[in-house]
C-alpha cells in the first residue's frame, strides 16, 4: 500500500487550485461542497486573481499557502496543469486530484504523460485527470462538482464505490441513496493515468469502514496488477465487479468511451472470477449484491431454505434459486416432526415453507430457530408478506433481527413495503444488517452471491493449506 494515497481520503489540508468566485464554475462548486459537507481539515482556495471566496482567504499559488498541503484538487485548464503540478510537487503535496479534462480522452496523450512525469519526479500521486475525484462522507470530503441540490449525496456507510466514469459513479451513488444505503468512499478516477483500481483496492482493503468494494469496470490497463490486488483483497472483504463491454457492441462502445480496450470479455471475466471477484451483470445487481454483502456473513454452504406466508412468493424464490444452482433440501425430519406438532395441519412444512396468511411472528421465530440451529441449513430466504391483519410488521422485523444476531448464517428478506409502518419495519431490519428486497428473485440473487463468497473463501483457505 502506498501510504501517500491515504491523503486522498483523510487529508489534514486541502488546496482547491482553480477555486472560482463564479457560481457556475467547477472551481466554485467544489469549494462550496467541501464547506457544506463539513470538512474539518484546513481548506485553501488557490486563485491568482481573488482575495477571498466563500469567506476563505485565497492564495495566488499553492506555493504561497503557509501550511503543509496533503491533497490538491486541480480544476484549471488542461494546459496549465503541468505548471500547477510542478508547484504541487515543490510544496510536498501527497495526492493531486486532477478534475480538469482535455487529456488522453480527447487524444491529448502527451500532455497527460507530461503531467504524470512531473508528478512522479516529485512523488505526487495523481487521481485522474478527467474525473470527479473523491467523496468520503465520513470525513466531509466532497469534491464532486455537481451541487448537492442537483445530486444529493449518500450518508456515510460501508460500501466503497470505484468507477472511472463520474456519471456512472454518481448515479450509482444516487441509486444507493434511494435504497437508504450509505457509502464509505467513492472514487471516480477518469483516465486513471496514475492511480487505478489496484492502488485503490490496496487502500480500501485496510479501510475499517469499508465492508465491500464495488467496482464499475470498463477497460483494464494492467490485468495482472488488478487481479493480484483483487486476490489480496478478497480474503479480507468481498469485491463486487460489473465488467461492461461484455457484448460485441458493448466492447466497441468501451473503446470509444474510455479509449481503453474492453478486452476479450470471456478472458477478463474468467480472470476476475479466478481472482475471487463476485461478478454481477446489471446496474441493479451491483447495488443489491453490495448491500447484501455489506450486511451479511458469507454462507457456509449452498443449502438454502425458504420460509414465507405467501405461497406464490415462495415458488418464485425457489424457481430463481434453483436456476442459480442453489440446493433446496427438504426440511430435515426431526424439524418437520416438531413443526407438524406445533403448526396447523394446513401449513406446508416443506421447502419452500408456507405458513399461510394465518401465520404469526412467533411461528416464523420457531421455524427459523430450528433451521438456524440445524447443521443441514446454510442460509435462509424469508418472505414475510406484511399487510395482513394481526401480523405486526415490527414484531416480524424483530424476529428477523434476532436471527441475524443469534446465528452466523445469512438471512435475506423479501417483501413489498405497503405502508409507513412496513417502511419502518424495513428500516429497522436494514439498520440491523438484515437486507430487504422488494422482489423474491432479487433476494435469491443475493443469497446466491453470499453462497459464492463463502465458496471463494473456502477455496482460498484450502489452497493455503
# residues near a second copy by CB under 8 A: 73
Total Cβ atoms within 10 A of residue 48: 9
Would you say how long the chain is, in residues? 465
Which residues, numbered 265-304, are part of the site for a second copy (CB under 8 A)? 281-284
Binding mask 323-362 for a second copy (x = CB under 8 A): x----x-----------------x-x-xxx-x--x-----
Smallest distance from a second copy to CB 67, Å: 32
Segment lying near a second copy (by CB under 8 A), choices 42-50, 65-73, 231-239, 318-326: 318-326
Among 247, 264, 274, 373, binds a second copy (CB under 8 A): 247
Closest CB to a second copy among residues 2, 284: 284
Instruction: Quote the CA–CA distance of 36 and 87 in Å, as a whole number.
Output: 27
Of 108-116, 222-230, 311-319, 366-374: span binding a second copy (CB under 8 A): 311-319
Query: How is residue 18 written as a grid cell?
Result: 482553480
With respect to a second copy, which residue has the nearer C-beta, 24 or 333? 24
Q: Which three cell numbers stand for residue 67?
A: 501550511
Judged by CB under 8 A, the chain residues 38 through 77 that form the site for a second copy are none
Which residues have C-beta within 8 Å of that of residue 341, sequence separation ≥ 6? Answer: none
The nearest distance, CB 34 to a second copy, in angstroms, is 18
**Using CB under 8 A, which of the segments 54-62, 145-153, 224-232, 399-407 binds a second copy?**
145-153
Strand 304-308 with 379-383, pairing: parallel
- Looking at the Cβ atoms of 301 and 311, the one nearer to a second copy is 311
- Give whichever of 221 and 323 is closer to a second copy, judged by the CB atom: 323
In whole angstroms, give the CA distance from residue 371 to residue 151.
44
Annotate each residue in 71-110 with x if it binds a second copy (CB under 8 A) or - if it does not, as one string.
----------------------------------xx----
389 binds a second copy (CB under 8 A): yes
Instruction: Compare residues 105 and 433 and give the one whose CB is closer to a second copy.
Output: 105
Q: How far is the CB of 310 from a second copy (least distance, A)?
A: 4
- Which residues, 6 or more positions from 97, have their beta carbon under 8 angstroms from its beta carbon? 8, 71, 72, 73, 74, 126, 127, 128, 131, 133, 134, 143
Q: What is the DSSP string of 164-183?
A: S-HHHHHHHHHHHHHTT--E
Among 253, 261, 338, 457, interactor with a second copy by CB under 8 A: 253
Q: Which of 55, 249, 341, 464 binds a second copy (CB under 8 A)?
A: 249
Least CB distance from residue 402 to a second copy, whole Å? 24
**Residue 267 CA from chain centroid, whole number:** 24
Classify the phi-psi angles of 125: left when phi > 0, otherwise alpha if psi is within -120 to 50, otherwise beta: beta
Task: For a second copy, give the closer residue by CB, 48 or 266.
Answer: 266
76-82-84-85 Cα dihedral, nearest 10 degrees = 120
Name residues contacting a second copy, limited to 159-188 (CB under 8 A): 163, 165, 167-168, 170-171, 174-175, 178
Q: Which is nearer to a second copy, 126 or 385 (CB)?
A: 385
Residues 6 or more apart from 339 whose CB is under 8 A from it? Answer: 331, 347, 349, 366, 367, 370
> Is residue 367 part of the contact set for a second copy (CB under 8 A)?
no
Kindly state whether residue 21 participates in binding a second copy, applying the rule CB under 8 A.
no
d(CA 218, CA 236): 24
Q: Tell me how far apart the alpha carbons of residues 137 and 317 are, in angstroms, rounded to a whole number.
A: 36
Amino acid at each position: 500500500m502506498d501510504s501517500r494515497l491515504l491523503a486522498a481520503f483523510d487529508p489534514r489540508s486541502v488546496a482547491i487550485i482553480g477555486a472560482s468566485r463564479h457560481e457556475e464554475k467547477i472551481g466554485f462548486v467544489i469549494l462550496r461542497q467541501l464547506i457544506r459537507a463539513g470538512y474539518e481539515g484546513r481548506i485553501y482556495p488557490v486563485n491568482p486573481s481573488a482575495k477571498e471566496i466563500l469567506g476563505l482567504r485565497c492564495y495566488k499559488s499553492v506555493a504561497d499557502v503557509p501550511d503543509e498541503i496533503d491533497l490538491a484538487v486541480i480544476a484549471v485548464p488542461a494546459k496549465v496543469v503541468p505548471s500547477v503540478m510542478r508547484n504541487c510537487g515543490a510544496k510536498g503535496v501527497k495526492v493531486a486530484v486532477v478534475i480538469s479534462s482535455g487529456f488522453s480522452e480527447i487524444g491529448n496523450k502527451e500532455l497527460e504523460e507530461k503531467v504524470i512525469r512531473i508528478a512522479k519526479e516529485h512523488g505526487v500521486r495523481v487521481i485522474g485527470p478527467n474525473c470527479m475525484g473523491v467523496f468520503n462522507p465520513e470525513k466531509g470530503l466532497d469534491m464532486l462538482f455537481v451541487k448537492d441540490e442537483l445530486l444529493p449525496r449518500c450518508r456515510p456507510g460501508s460500501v466503497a464505490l470505484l468507477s472511472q466514469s463520474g456519471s456512472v459513479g454518481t448515479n450509482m451513488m444516487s441509486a444507493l441513496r434511494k435504497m437508504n444505503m450509505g457509502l464509505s468512499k467513492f472514487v471516480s478516477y477518469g483516465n486513471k493515468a496514475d492511480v487505478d483500481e489496484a492502488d485503490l483496492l490496496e487502500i480500501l482493503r485496510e479501510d475499517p469502514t469499508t465492508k465491500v468494494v464495488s467496482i464499475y469496470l470498463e477497460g483494464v490497463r494492467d490485468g495482472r496488477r488488478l487481479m493480484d490486488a483483487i486476490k489480496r483483497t478478497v480474503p479480507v472483504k468481498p469485491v463486487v465487479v460489473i465488467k461492461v463491454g461484455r457484448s460485441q457492441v458493448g466492447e466497441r462502445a468501451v473503446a470509444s468511451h474510455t479509449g481503453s480496450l474492453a478486452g476479450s470479455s470471456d478472458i477478463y471475466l474468467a480472470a476476475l472470477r479466478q481472482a475471487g471477484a463476485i461478478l454481477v451483470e446489471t446496474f441493479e445487481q451491483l447495488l443489491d449484491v453490495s448491500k447484501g454483502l455489506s450486511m451479511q456473513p458469507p454462507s457456509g454452504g449452498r443449502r438454502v431454505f425458504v420460509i414465507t406466508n405467501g405461497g406464490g412468493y415462495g415458488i418464485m424464490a425457489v424457481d430463481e434459486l434453483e436456476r442459480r444452482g442453489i440446493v433446496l433440501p427438504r426440511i430435515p425430519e426431526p424439524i418437520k416432526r416438531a413443526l407438524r406438532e406445533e403448526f396447523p395441519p394446513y401449513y406446508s412444512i416443506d421447502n419452500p415453507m408456507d405458513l399461510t396468511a394465518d401465520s404469526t411472528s412467533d411461528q416464523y421465530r420457531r421455524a427459523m430457530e430450528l433451521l438456524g440451529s440445524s447443521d443441514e441449513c446454510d442460509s435462509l430466504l424469508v418472505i414475510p408478506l406484511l399487510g395482513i391483519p394481526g401480523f405486526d410488521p415490527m414484531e416480524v422485523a424483530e424476529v428477523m433481527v434476532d436471527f441475524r444476531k443469534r446465528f452466523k448464517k445469512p438471512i435475506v428478506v423479501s417483501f413489498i413495503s405497503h405502508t409507513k409502518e412496513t417502511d419502518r419495519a424495513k428500516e429497522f431490519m436494514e439498520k440491523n444488517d438484515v437486507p430487504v428486497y422488494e422482489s423474491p428473485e432479487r433476494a435469491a440473487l443475493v443469497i446466491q452471491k453470499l453462497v459464492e463468497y463463502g465458496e471463494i473463501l473456502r477455496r482460498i483457505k484450502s489452497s493455503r493449506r
